Amino acid sequence: MPIDWTGSGPQLLLQVDRNRPEPLRDQLERALREAIRAGRLAAGERLPSSRALSRDLGISRGLVTECYAQLQAEGYLVSRGGSATRVAATARPYPAALPPPTAIEPARIDFRPGVPDLSSFPREYWSGALRRACRDAPSELLGCLDPHGDPTLRDVLAAYLRRVRGAGTDPGHIVICAGYAQGLQLVLRSLAGQGVRVVAFEDPGDPEHRAIAAMLGLDVIAVPVDERGIDTDALAATDARAVVLTPAHQSPTGVVLAPDRRQALINWATTRTSTIVEDDYDAEFRYDREPVGALQGLAPDRVALLGSVSKSLAPALRLGWILSPPHLTPAVARYKQLADRGSPVLDQLALADLLKSGRYDRHLRHMRQRYAARRAALLEAIQRHAPSIELRGLAAGFHTVAQLPPDADERAIVAAARRRSVGLYGMSTYRMDQHPWPPQLVLGFGNLTTAAISDGIETVADLLEPRRVSRRPA
């Protein structure tokens, strides 16, 4: 659908050359035809008024009027009395060289992991904080940005991370970034600049994070995860100089790194002069366990703590932070400057406002209650419709791992559920070798209502428990 530009003269890139022998009217007609055929002007899109276009091009208004009339006669433009001139609905651009990719029909009920409740974004809190930032920000803050991030936000974040995550923080070692993905890129690029060539990742783990390391030319090693977290003995047997992990709530298994392995990991980093990159994943949302402090608090000089508001507020804000070891901070800030010159300052000030005012904490308390209700709905739906399925990793976050029968075909179940318009996601996509055994599903419930959770599980119950009587077609 074309954008309905406001104002009398939406600007349009057209050129006429008075030094050419071709008449100006012919040049203008040809330029407009080409813009429509190339798709630069879409069907229904409004053109500038004849007065505005004649002013912009420095030609007579009568010439523009004649041009518009000619293109109306040819069927390129339409105009009605008292209305703007628009591109005709029958005007079609040249066919693209390649057809657009086929759109995948979205699932009616999507158990996609890692997606928070987007409908609960605190719009009033955020818009109010942005208004206050616009009103109160000194003018000099609107100039060149500090690649480390706004000092106000870094001070507030340092205090917040000390209070909530037990982190050892110095605002001077915090770099604000555009979410976790950019934070990981900046840290890995900085490590590569200091000679690191091999990075270990949890297996299973997020394939996109491994792809970031590979994109930077680093060698990626998979280290297995069991019910006590990453296998530190297996890590020690590698030649990795850095490891990326999620100790508070492992993604995707949901396990917590055991205390003895936390100590072993710190010892590994200290004796090898290596770096731990800690993804503070889902740390805000816990239900029936005590909070687990950040690993960074045990060894601030060896751990880079990465966090963001993607799960707590919304992914689209693209706001995150790196609490960097001192030896990495200058390089991380330098690469941030080269990447995008710094994150938007008004958004940073708005986040600082939410943190200082307590509205951020209030929002998190509200979301814990909502996610706890959805967690309970998922447990109830599984117990009612597929009672033999065990759910793991539910002590925190808003996803769980469903243990399927040993002989289940994970990929076939995912495909059959999609045909019923239910999105399911197999553990095999998180494994380094993508092996589908043991068969497991990673079920996200953050962005689903309790009614949708119950409906979705009922819809695929016979797929999860194939020995039960099927009530719905595959």
Contacts of 395 (CB under 8 A, 6+ apart): 249, 254, 256, 286, 287, 288, 289
Question: In whole angstroms, how far apart are CA 112 and each of 107, 435, 442, 446?
Answer: 10, 20, 8, 9
Q: C-alpha angle 90/102/444, rounded to 5°?
A: 130
Backbone angles phi, psi at 75, to 5 degrees: 95, 5
Give residue limits of the domains in the chain. 24-87, 109-115+362-464, 122-359
- Structure-token match 């950040």, residue found: 294
Read off the tokens for 433.
């070798």
Backbone angles phi, psi at 440, to 5 degrees: -145, 155
Judge whether 24-87 and 122-359 match in fold: no
Contacts of 117 (CB under 8 A, 6+ apart): 367, 370, 371, 446, 447
Percent of the chain, pLDDT > 70?
A: 92
**Selection from 128, 176, 127, 133 nearest residue 151 by Cα:** 176
Just give the CATH number of 122-359. 3.40.640.10
Task: Give 448's pLDDT tier (boundaries 50, 70, 90).
Answer: very high
At 188, is the secondary structure helix, strand, or coil?
Answer: helix
Can you give the three-state secondary structure of 352-413, one letter per residue? HHHHHHCHHHHHHHHHHHHHHHHHHHHHHHHHHHCCCCEEECCCECCEEEEECCCCCCHHHH
Contacts of 23 (CB under 8 A, 6+ apart): none
Question: How long, in residues, is the chain?
Answer: 474
Sign of CA dihedral 386, 387, 389, 394: positive
Task: Give 474's pLDDT tier (boundaries 50, 70, 90).
Answer: very low
Q: With a cut of 60, say whether residue 96 has pLDDT above it.
A: no
Task: Give 43's pLDDT tier (boundaries 50, 70, 90).
Answer: confident
pLDDT tens by residue, 156-207: 999 999 998 989 889 999 999 999 999 999 999 999 999 999 999 999 999 9
Judge residue 387's burial from the number of C-beta atoms within 10 Å of its C-beta, 0-12 exposed, 13-18 middle, 19 or more buried: exposed
**Residue 165 near residue 158, CB atoms below 8 Å:** no
d(CA 253, CA 251): 5
Backbone angles phi, psi at 268, to 5 degrees: -60, -45
At 24, is the secondary structure helix, strand, or coil?
Answer: helix
pLDDT tens by residue, 308-326: 999 999 999 999 999 999 9
pLDDT tens by residue, 402-417: 999 999 999 999 999 9
In CATH, 24-87 is 3.40.50.300: no
Q: DSSP string spanning 401-445?
A: EEE--TT--HHHHHHHHHHTTEE--BGGGGSTT----S-EEEEE-
At 138, is the secondary structure helix, strand, or coil?
Answer: coil
Backbone angles phi, psi at 276, to 5 degrees: -100, 125
- Structure-token match 């001070």, residue found: 155
Q: Which residue has the higher pLDDT, 45 or 290?
A: 45
Sheet of strand 303-308, all strands in order from the earlier edge strand to the far edge: 174-177, 320-323, 303-308, 275-279, 242-245, 198-203, 219-226, 229-230
For the stretch 127-165, what's the b/e string if a residue is b when 16 or more beta carbons lie within 10 angstroms of its beta carbon?
ebbbeebeeebeeebeeebbbbbbebbbebbbebbeebb
pLDDT tens by residue, 111-139: 999 999 999 999 999 999 999 999 999 99
Backbone angles phi, psi at 5, to 5 degrees: -60, 140
Q: With a cut of 90, say whether residue 57 has pLDDT above it.
A: no
d(CA 164, CA 159): 9
Quick check: pTM over 0.75?
Answer: yes
Fold of 109-115+362-464: Aspartate Aminotransferase, domain 1 (3.90.1150)
